[in-house]
Amino acid sequence: MEDCHLENLGDLLHLRYLKLTGPGISGLPKQTGNLKFLQTLHVGEAAIKELPSSIVLLPQLVCLLCIHWSRSTRLPDGFGKLTSLEELRISAVGYDKCKKGRFLKELGSLVELRVLNVEIDQMDESVQRDLVESLHNLHKIQDLIIKKRYHDVTDADVATWEAAGFELPQHLRRLSLSGVRFSRLPPSCINPSRLHSLFYLELCLASMDEQDLRLLGMFTEHWIISTLLTATSRS
């Protein structure tokens, strides 16, 4: 399928599921905003660089999948209006600092999110702060995956994250923060007495002490899988 075959896509008014694949698809028509009943949009396997601004007009969209191992699809400004979204898999690679800041702040408006998978290329202190402030609003998150393109890590100060209000919801099932390396285990966040549903944990730590090991040892139930990544400082 190619772009020319999508001209009348906006006429499929009762469409609920749309998956587009193939290198011949480089964009969606603006008429995509006419698909008021669309619930799932999967474009991760197409060659779409940016979704049209009209997608923010899709009131019933609950699942938006835009991530691919070799390329990224950008969301338009205003995507925070998609307040029915429950699953978002997206890449924020290639954004300038201003654009990335807006992207992260709009994430905080998606209060119905259950699954969030975000790939980011640069994570300086201001980006981390914007990210944490948005995560603070997402009380229904069950699967949270934050990773960096190119598989490197950025140092993160635990005090900065805690000061910005980083707190994990009690019903969190999966947590993977492989894009940042904490100076130590965040005790106020990784709390076994609160995270009863957690079964997968992936963190990167610069160091561990006896207290950290004791805290991780409290995840003793068989459904808990604790995966810890340690690393020395890297440039």
Instruction: Return the CATH number at 57.
Output: 3.80.10.10
Shared domain check, 50 and 131: no
Q: For the residues 179-191, what does the mean pLDDT come to?
A: 78
| One domain, residues 105 and 206 | yes
Q: Do 210 and 97 have their domain in common?
A: yes
Which residue type is seen at 30? K
Question: Which CATH number do you get for residue 177?
Answer: 3.80.10
Q: Are residue 208 and residue 130 in the same domain, yes or no?
A: yes
pTM of the model: 0.87
Domain end: 60, 83, 106, which one? Answer: 83
User: What percent of the chain lies above the pLDDT cut of 90?
Assistant: 32
Provide the number of structural domains found in the chain: 2
pLDDT digits (tens, 9 = 90+) for 104-158: 999 999 999 999 999 888 788 888 888 888 998 999 999 999 987 766 778 887 8
The answer on pLDDT for 235 being more than 70 is no
Mean pLDDT of 214-234: 58
- pLDDT for 56: 95
Condensed to tens digits (0 to 9), the pLDDT of residues 30-77 reads 899 999 999 999 988 887 888 999 999 999 999 999 877 666 788 999
Strands (E), 37-101: 40-46, 63-65, 87-91
Do 124 and 26 share a structural domain?
no
**In the chain, at which residue ranges do the beta strands (DSSP E only) sit?**
17-22, 40-46, 63-65, 87-91, 115-120, 143-148, 154-156, 174-182, 200-205, 225-230
In angstroms, how far is the first alpha carbon of the chain from the final one?
Answer: 44
Q: Does one domain contain both 139 and 229? A: yes
To the nearest whole percent, how much of the chain has pLDDT over 70? 88
User: Among residues 83, 110, 138, which one ends one of the domains?
Assistant: 83
Whether residue 230 is predicted with pLDDT greater than 90 in this model: the reply is no
**Mean pLDDT value across residues 192-216:** 81
Q: Is 232 helix (H, G, I), strand (E, B) or coil?
A: coil
110 and 9 in one domain? no
Within a 13 Å sphere around the CA of 231, how many CA atoms are in the beta-carbon half?
A: 18
From 83, 110, 134, the end of a domain falls on: 83
66 and 140 co-located in one domain:
no
pLDDT number for residue 37: 96
Among 96, 159, 150, 99, smallest CA distance to 125 is for 159
Same-domain status, 58 and 41: yes
- Give pLDDT tens digits for 155-170: 887 887 877 777 788 8
Residue 109, helix vs strand vs coil: coil
Domain residue limits at 124: 92-235
State phi, psi for 95 to the nearest 5 degrees. -75, 145
Same domain, 112 and 70: no
Q: Are residues 202 and 99 in the same domain?
A: yes
